[in-house]
Amino acid sequence: MPKVAPIDQRKADHIKINLEQDVRSALTTGLEKYHFVHEALPELDLNRVNTTLSLFGKTLNAPILISSMTGGTEEAGEINQRLAEAAQEVGVAMGVGSQRAALENPKETPTFSIARKVAPDILLFANLGAVQLNYGYSVDECRRAVDMIQADALCLHLNPLQEAVQDAGDTNFEGLAKKIEEVCRKLEVPVIAKEVGWGISERTAKLLADCGVQAIDVAGAGGTSWSQVEMHRAPDEFTRQLAATFVGWGIPTAESILNVKKAVPEMTIFASGGLKDGLDIAKCIALGATLGGMAGNFLKAAAVSTEKAVEMMKLTKRQIEVTMFACGAERIRELENGKLVEKPSDEDFQKALEYVLEKNKELYKRLANL
């Protein structure tokens, strides 16, 4: 079994780098290409706008997911406690970071299990790297991760690029689909497939659906680039340059949502990857997602206090409510009813301009001769 200390150090490094360094992808989420149709007369009372929903047997006050982040260090345990306390107060979903450290070193268990202790009612997701199924893990470890935090579902995260640019990463992803299928078949709770920041293609969406996952967290490009995180952790110049190469890699979040909707229309979708606020979450809901996940904003707030995390979550919820109000949607699913439109691109605008100019060329000539 691998040594535990390097895992602990990696978790600590990830928190520090995400808080202190610019690790953004060179790509955008694609959400900037869309806008809601403003309704000057929405015929709604803002106080009656309803953002509640039910998922996996739990009721959420808003379609907000505190994306899987951390655990495995003392600092991470404190952050998880604050995030969970805030999630309990606001009524949103939460995922913990990879629980591998705790499975291999039980003394780290409290840094994860604290979440359920302080948040008995929230929708809570356990988390393991799917690739570990090719490195000795099985349904048993998945079940232990779920039991550790009394989770409502298990996220199996997919991070091939991160492993490929990481020093001594786990890069054998061969035959992984069959093992994911076995976990989906045998585990007592739903399984969620989660990317970590490079998005989901149509092919992958279909493959995961065939495996039996009940939801896909697209985690598209446009936010944190974990190749950039690994660049800051690189032990030598070779590894640093390798990681730096992929700052612009991935499928943007908006495109990833549409990929899943096209490939498996009935799949439950979680949208994450570069979401900045409740307006972005609302856009993702309108594109077909059920939840919108954010990490960085909540991490920075929780690093200060539980109160700051609560404030950030309440602000995000209110941003969703005001978005719905201003576009005439009283309930969350009404956002999908033609409320969102795609802005014409600069290329489309140029083509339209050229068309108009060509059609009116003769008119311009006449006007010029007047």
Backbone torsions φ then ψ of 267, nearest 5 degrees: -70, 140
Please give the pLDDT value at position 4: 35
Query: What pLDDT does 2 receive?
Result: 38
pLDDT at res. 3: 40
Q: In this predicted structure, what is the pLDDT of residue 289?
A: 98
For residues 260 and 270, the answer to whether their CB atoms sit within 8 Å is: no
pLDDT of res. 14: 64
In this prediction, residues 126-145 reach a mean pLDDT of: 98
Q: Which of 267-270's residues contact partners 24+ apart within 8 Å by CB, and which partners?
A: 267/205, 267/209, 267/215, 267/216, 268/55, 268/214, 268/215, 268/216, 269/215, 269/216, 269/217, 269/218, 270/65, 270/192, 270/194, 270/215, 270/216, 270/217, 270/218
In the chain, the percentage of residues whose pLDDT exceeds 70 is 88
Q: Which residue has the higher pLDDT, 91 or 68?
A: 91
CA–CA gap between residue 46 and residue 111 (Å, rounded): 39
Two tokens at 112? 């994860």
pLDDT digits (tens, 9 = 90+) for 19-42: 677 788 999 999 999 999 999 999
Q: Which CATH superfamily is domain 5-343 in?
A: Aldolase class I (3.20.20.70)
Segment among 36-50, 68-82, 145-159 with least mean pLDDT: 68-82
- Say whether pLDDT at 355 is over 70: no
Q: State the average pLDDT over residues 84-95.
A: 98
Q: Radius of gyration over alpha carbons of the chain, in Å? A: 22
The per-residue pLDDT for 155 is 98
**pLDDT tens profile 171-211:** 999 999 999 999 999 999 999 999 999 999 999 999 999 99
Q: What is residue 176's predicted lDDT score, i.e. its pLDDT?
A: 98
pLDDT at 81: 96
Q: Kindly report the average pLDDT of the chain as a whole number.
A: 91
Residue 350, pLDDT score = 64
